[in-house]
Amino acid sequence: MDIGIGLPATIPGTKGSLVLDWAERADSASFSSLGVLDRMVYPNYEPLIALAAAAAVTSRVAPDDHGAPRSAARSGGAREAGR
């Protein structure tokens, strides 16, 4: 069974370093993917940018784009370019 985890990118006041720490911990744990939400009510990290940053610090988990263009998120392009 594949189980993903959401990054805290939509929590107001969350530092980028915490988002990256979550990504690194998910990569070293048993999670299979990382996900993000998008909120328009208050400022938050842009979802695809958050996933790209997470891809730069992970090697195993896959970004879960929830329907974003496949060329950016699913193909792992950001991960491959950074490694």
- Residue 65 confidence (pLDDT): 59
pLDDT along the chain (83 residues), means of 10: 91 93 94 88 88 92 61 43 41
Instruction: Give the SS3 label for residue 31.
Output: coil
- Residue 70 confidence (pLDDT): 42
Its domain, for residue 8, covers 4-82
The count of structural domains within the chain is: 1
pTM of the model: 0.71
- Residue 42 confidence (pLDDT): 80
- Residue 12 confidence (pLDDT): 86
| Distance of alpha carbon 4 from the chain centroid | 10
Q: What is the CA radius of gyration of the chain?
A: 12
Q: What strands lie across the sheet with 33-35, from one edge to the other?
A: 4-6, 33-35, 62-64
Do residues 22 and 50 touch, judged by C-beta distance below 8 A? no
